[in-house]
Chains A and B, each alone.
Chain A
Amino acid sequence: MSLDKKQIEHIALLARLKLSDEEYAESVEKLSKIVDFVAQLSQADTTGVVPMAHPFDAAQRLRPDVVTETVERDRYQENAAAVSDGLYLVPKVLD
């Protein structure tokens, strides 16, 4: 196995995913397989190749700095689980 449980725990924390014990065991096995599979890329000769970030050599488009959006907070917040007075609620962050 190229990855161990400790590494998976670290990755899961970075990814903000809570996994069950069963999921941890499965992840060690399957993620190791995936990492081993993609490791074959190391054999490719990429000397002098510039990494490709986009299918075209396109530059980011700029737009005029004008107001285009309207405030529709109430409608958007209909999808939120907990709101109050137009604010999104989360568990207490500071004591």
Chain B
Amino acid sequence: MALHLQTLTELAAGLANREFTSVELTEVLLARIAEHNDTLNTFVTVTTDAALAAAARADDALAAGKGGVLNGLPIIHKDIFCTRGIKTSCGSKMLDNFISPYDATVVERMAAAGAVILGKSNMDEFAMGSSNETSYIGPVRNPWNLECSPGGSSGGSSAAVAARIAPAATGTDTGGSIRQPAALTGTVGIKPTYGRVSRYGMIAFASSLDQAGVITRSAEDAARLLGVMAGFDERDSTSIDKPVPDYVASLGDSIKGLRVGIVRQHFDQGLDDECGARVKDAIAVLESLGATTVEVDLPNLDLSVPTYYVVAPAECSSNLSRFDGVRFGHRAENAVDLLDLYCRSRGEGFGDEVKRRIMTGTYVLSAGYYDAYYLKAQKVRQLIADDFKNAFADVDVIAGPTTPTPAFKLGEKVDDPILMYLNDIYTIGANLAGLPAMSVPCGFVDDLPVGLHLVGAHFAEATLLRCAHQYQQQTDWHTACPAAFR
């Protein structure tokens, strides 16, 4: 099979068996970037020379009988991860001139395992968006239909993996930013438990919700990468000190007897009928593998989106106050005084959606409104977390749709923030409660992919990955490739 069509796991075997070198593989993928990037706009930066140098080092390591578990395997990092000596823009004009002086822990760990970085992927500005349209270098296009969005905010990562430009890409997920783009592009996306993967060097959006993960073409590949990324990091104050299980080792275990929760509210109004049908088919496959289904209730599901749009902007308004035009980032010309420097640097450097969220956050935290909005939202967040806790007393996994509809057209929702926000209704709850969740391809509607959403209890990543892997042994939706990118 052509190298670009192989999964990370297949490529790892090919490299180990000396069927090809990492330099040859990297050259193939760099050529695909050159061929398709003008169409898809998946990259902020392509690191050609560094990639070829890293590939050559990986080949040397292999020849010497050394090399980590990702030795010679090409990946892409979302441009939210700091990469030493490489521009880290976070999809914003504010950081267009920012060359990171250090590596994020995720970047460091993957490099230490031998991964080859092809470049930095396009994304919604500061990860604020669900369509990749808020990026300062323009939207990414969906390989399944170029008029559609690949989702967001990790849209460059999802489109690149779907278009067979790279076997895997990192992403971050604050309200669905890994899972929604994975669903919309027919790829696999996992957001681990809050604190499972280090946030050090990952540009902060909403610190109590942000979590790093990966987008791949199979659950097996996701398991392989998560094992490298996950684990305690003393440089992240909310990192959890808990051993990382061998996610690959348990993939082959049966899911017989697995209790799968079906949420009553998920199939109510708002869900596209055809999408709902694909998700129900997928659940039937899990049942055929011996899983049992149980109806569960998430009574406060409807409140998850408004809760998120108080908590996340509040944290964002605080996190983004560091961009002041002084130490790094965009600086306005000819400021008359310090206030003018701050206000104009920020006014010029941030795009519309980021400004909107900073102002929303500033408002809900301001004197007189704090109790009614921010404190109230934190209380409702607790109710939502309790709903999940109750549900997980009876089930091992919750299964449902990742998104209400397949990929939507670019421009379709960009003028209505609420319509855009509601796209994340099924994914936001996992962030609010800090739970691991993933999206797995489960079919098509009008030639556009549909995602099955799996949510687990805290630290149940291995269960999710096993469930997804077993599903993928029975189905081939995850191997479907958009016609123009074969």
Binding site for B on A (CB under 8 A): 3, 8, 11-20, 23, 26-27, 30-31, 33-35, 37-42, 44, 46, 49-56, 58, 60-61, 63, 72, 75-82, 88, 90-93
B376 within 8 A of A: yes
CB–CB A80/B341 < 8 A: no
A24 to chain B, nearest CB (A): 11
| Chain B interface main SS type | helix
Residue among B240, B307, B324, B359 with max Cβ neighbours from chain A (10 Å): B359
| Bound-complex Cα distance A90 to B194 (A) | 38
| Bound-complex Cα distance A39 to B418 (A) | 13
A55 proximity list for chain B (CB < 8 A):
194-195, 208, 385, 433-434, 458
Choose the segment among B36-44, B93-101, B120-128 that binds chain A (4+ C-beta atoms closer than 8 Å).
Answer: B93-101
> Given A41-B310, A52-B385, is A27 in contact with B338 using a C-beta cutoff of 8 Å?
no
Contact of A17 among B240, B326, B337, B355 (CB under 8 A): B355
B386 to chain A, nearest CB (A): 9
B48 within 8 A of A: no
CB–CB A41/B340 < 8 A: no
Pairs across A and B, CB under 8 Å, 8 listed:
A14-B366, A31-B359, A46-B376, A63-B234, A80-B326, A82-B331, A91-B335, A91-B341
CB–CB A76/B101 < 8 A: yes
A18 proximity list for chain B (CB < 8 A):
340, 343-344, 346-348
CB–CB A16/B379 < 8 A: no
CB–CB B380/A46 < 8 A: yes
A16 proximity list for chain B (CB < 8 A):
321, 324, 339, 342-343, 346
A40 proximity list for chain B (CB < 8 A):
303, 306
How many residues of chain B get a CB closer than 8 Å to chain A's CBs?
Answer: 68
Closest to A36 in B: B418
B87 to chain A, nearest CB (A): 11
Query: What is the 8 Å Cβ interface bit string for chain B, positions 361-385, against chain A (1 contact, 0 not)?
Result: 0111010000011011111111101
| Bound-complex Cα distance A92 to B341 (A) | 11
| Bound-complex Cα distance A20 to B348 (A) | 10
Residue among B238, B380, B417 with max Cβ neighbours from chain A (10 Å): B380
Contact of B379 among A11, A39, A52, A80 (CB under 8 A): A52
